[in-house]
Amino acid sequence: MHSIGRAGHDLMVGAIALGYQQVFILLNPNKPIENEPLIAQRELAETMLTGVGISGAGQIVLLDNADPDVISDRLHQNHPKELVDPHHSALLEHHVATPG
């Protein structure tokens, strides 16, 4: 995407709910003002994940370096602390309404 400023907590949490282990967001180190909404959205997404019993720490990763080698290293070294089972998402389990 040309600009990811419109990507919000809904997309981040949605990806984790679908079973993705991590979401990586590449920030533009030359435009810190444009990064502020993404940082706030990540904080909101982590709070939402924690609220439903999933540790959001390490699952939504912001990358803000212009060096492609540094980005590559971060992508290959990053591992979430808690993985989501794609066949049994805790997000879905906590929000399924039971009839009656």
Instruction: Spell out the per-residue pLDDT of the chain, length 100, in tens.
Output: 455 557 799 999 999 989 898 899 888 888 889 889 999 999 999 999 999 888 767 889 989 888 888 888 888 886 554 444 544 444 445 444 444 4
Specify if 52 maps to a domain.
Answer: yes
- Single pTM value for the model: 0.68
Say how many domains are in the chain.
1
Domain housing 28: 9-86
Specify if 94 maps to a domain.
Answer: no
Specify if 93 maps to a domain.
Answer: no
Specify if 24 maps to a domain.
Answer: yes
Specify if 19 maps to a domain.
Answer: yes
The whole-angstrom separation of Cα 57 and Cα 54 is 9
Q: What are phi and psi of 4, to 5 degrees?
A: -105, 15
